[in-house]
């Protein structure tokens, strides 16, 4: 049995089934973590991410939660709202891309040392396809770090996350 046999389509439906760019057309400068959790995430990233890494912030917004001590070679932010991405001071490149409409990542094979996803995985309607894409773009022995929370935009979160 593989993962596709265990996942049901109804697990990944959302209350708001409009295309994501409609919901995210207005910039939302919010954090889905409190100050202690934010500090913990920053510390976690600082411990796990090697200096000089090329990082993809998957489903990025106005804050990547990366301390300057990480000293990345590049931080690429892929998100849905250009205004939010432009407000993120650590991003060296931005890409607007709707992962729910097209989970294929617009990057080359083995392009990144690290991929981070901070409190956004609960919005993904095609997680298996997306995770396969992350594997494709990560260099061998690369890191994929996913941080999640109980805070979310409920209409956008997939059914299974709200039931956990």
Per residue in 115-124, pLDDT (tens digit) is: 999 988 888 8
CA dihedral of residues 140, 61, 32, 66 (deg, nearest 10): 50
Domain boundaries, the chain: 3-163
pLDDT of residue 155: 63
Per CATH, domain 3-163 is 3.40.50.150: yes
Residue pLDDT, tens place only, 32-86: 788 898 999 999 999 999 999 999 999 999 999 998 878 999 999 999 999 999 9
pLDDT of residue 18: 79
How far apart CA 162 and CA 164 sit, in angstroms, is 6
pLDDT grade for 22, boundaries at 50, 70 and 90? confident
pLDDT grade for 19, boundaries at 50, 70 and 90? confident
pLDDT grade for 153, boundaries at 50, 70 and 90? low
Q: Where are the beta strands (DSSP E) in the chain?
A: 54-58, 74-79, 93-96, 112-118, 138-147
How far apart CA 76 and CA 64 sit, in angstroms, is 10
How far apart CA 33 and CA 164 sit, in angstroms, is 18
């Amino acid at each position: 049995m593989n993962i596709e046999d265990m996942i049901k389509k109804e697990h990944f439906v959302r209350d708001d089934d409009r295309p994501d760019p409609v919901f995210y057309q207005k910039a939302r400068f919010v954090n889905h973590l409190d100050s202690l959790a934010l500090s913990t995430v920053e510390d976690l990233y600082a411990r796990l991410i090697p200096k000089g890494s090329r990082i993809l912030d998957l489903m990025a917004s106005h804050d990547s939660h990366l301390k300057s001590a990480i000293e990345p070679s590049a931080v690429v932010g892929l998100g849905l709202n250009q205004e939010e991405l432009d407000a993120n001071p650590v991003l060296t490149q931005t890409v607007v891309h709707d992962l729910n409409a097209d989970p294929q990542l617009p990057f080359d094979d083995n392009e990144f040392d690290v991929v981070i996803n901070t409190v956004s995985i609960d919005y993904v309607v095609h997680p298996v396809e997306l995770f396969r894409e992350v594997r494709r773009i990560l260099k061998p022995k690369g890191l994929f770090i996913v941080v999640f929370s109980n805070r979310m935009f409920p209409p956008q979160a997939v059914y299974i996350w709200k039931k956990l």
